[in-house]
Amino acid sequence: MRAPATDRRPWTFYVLAAVFTLFVLFLYGPMVCIYILSFQGPNGGLTFPLNGVSIDWFGALFHQQRTGDIAGAFSRSIPLALIVLTVTVMFSLAAGLAFRRRFFGAGLIFYVAIASLIVPGLVLSVGIGLGFQMLDLAPRWYSSALGAHLSWTLPFGLLIMFAVFSRLSWSYEEAARDLGASTWQTLRYVVIPIVFPGIIGVALFGFTLSYDEFPRSWLTVGPYNTLPLEIWAMTTNITSPALYALGTVTTVISFVVIAAALSSIAVIQSHRTRRRVARERAIKSGS
């Protein structure tokens, strides 16, 4: 029931709001704890209380031998995530356009994409590892791991594109074509600007899913680890707050990417709202 805004809220609202608040605490609370603990003093341990405050553990990440090659892992994970982002955006946008029409095999490709989304990442990793072994190819982060990540980000991209295109009416493109636009111009100046917020969404998924992916990277990165594999190695053999410091650094990078994506979507949307309001006002004053 949609009550008028002045009505009192039912008691269920307060119960559900409390559940929601607790859930958000449950989501963020533990993460906040490790960000705090990563500033542990030099003699501090893995749990509270803080034994002084320092940034020693961040230094330990990049200067100690036993923490592994963290700088190198970043120098591979970030370019890999950027390549995955670019390819995911281009391929899923194109495929999303294809699925707006009927074509032979659409159902099959759809089900393969869904299967690729839900197959256990480790099993896929084994499959790609075996394939490269049988073809006598050496797995590398820019070949086998790139493919492994794409098999996971492309289905996500495709589903987002379905959601975006299901709301896009054909009439915009028909209008553009009636005004003499070529297919390419219609795509470039009409379709892409309209679906651009969705494209940013796909890019965000492409980057973050690749940047944090561990199971699919396991047998596919080759001799040089990406970041999640370094983190995995650390969880099994490092028992110092350096692990938390790494968690903080990698999460800061994720947060920067998320903030950039979400704020650019927000800017585009508010720009559109402003233009619409201005246009409506102009029409009103004109009549």
Partner 1 sequence: MKLAIPTKAVPYLEVAPLAIVLLFFFVVPMAMVLVASFFDYNMTGIIPTFTLTNYIDLLTSRTTLELYLETLKFALIVWAITLVLGFTIAYFLAFHVRNPLIAIGLLLLCTVPFWTSDIIRMISWIPLLGKYGVFNRALLELGVVDSPVQWLLFSDFAVVVAYVHLFTLFMIVPIFNSMARIDRSLIEAAVDAGAGRLRVLTEVVIPLSKTGIALGSIFVITLVMGDFFIVKIMSGGRSASVVMAVFEDVNLLFYPPAAASAVLLLIIVTLIVSFILRVVDVRKELMG
Distances from the Cα of 81 to the Cα of 42, 74, 146, angstroms: 33, 10, 9
Q: Which of residues 190-229 bind partner 1 (CB under 8 A)?
A: 204-205, 208, 211-212, 214-215, 219, 228
CA angle, residues 85, 166, 93, in degrees to nearest 5: 25
Is residue 147 within 8 Å of residue 217, measured between CB atoms?
no
CB 279 → partner 1: shortest distance, Å? Answer: 21
What is the amino acid identity at position 36? I
Cα 189 from Cα 76, distance rounded (Å): 35
* Number of chain positions touching partner 1 (CB under 8 A): 92
Tell whether residue 166 is a contact of partner 1 (CB under 8 A): yes
Is residue 206 within 8 Å of residue 150, measured between CB atoms?
no
CB 238 → partner 1: shortest distance, Å? Answer: 11
Window contacting partner 1 (CB under 8 A); options: 57-65, 157-165, 192-200, 275-283:
157-165
Q: Which of residues 8-67 bind partner 1 (CB under 8 A)?
A: 9-10, 12-13, 16-17, 19-20, 23-24, 26-31, 33-34, 37, 46-48
Question: Binding partner 1 by CB under 8 A: which of 65, 134, 283, 284?
Answer: 134
In a 10 Å sphere around its CB, with 0-12 CB exposed, 13-18 middle and 19+ buried, how is residue 241 labelled?
buried
Tell whether residue 103 is a contact of partner 1 (CB under 8 A): yes
Window contacting partner 1 (CB under 8 A); options: 51-59, 85-93, 170-178, 279-287:
85-93
Cα 263 from Cα 92, distance rounded (Å): 22
Window contacting partner 1 (CB under 8 A); options: 64-72, 151-159, 172-180, 278-286:
151-159
Q: Which is nearer to partner 1, 138 or 282 (CB)?
A: 138
DSSP state for residue 126 in the 8-state scheme? H
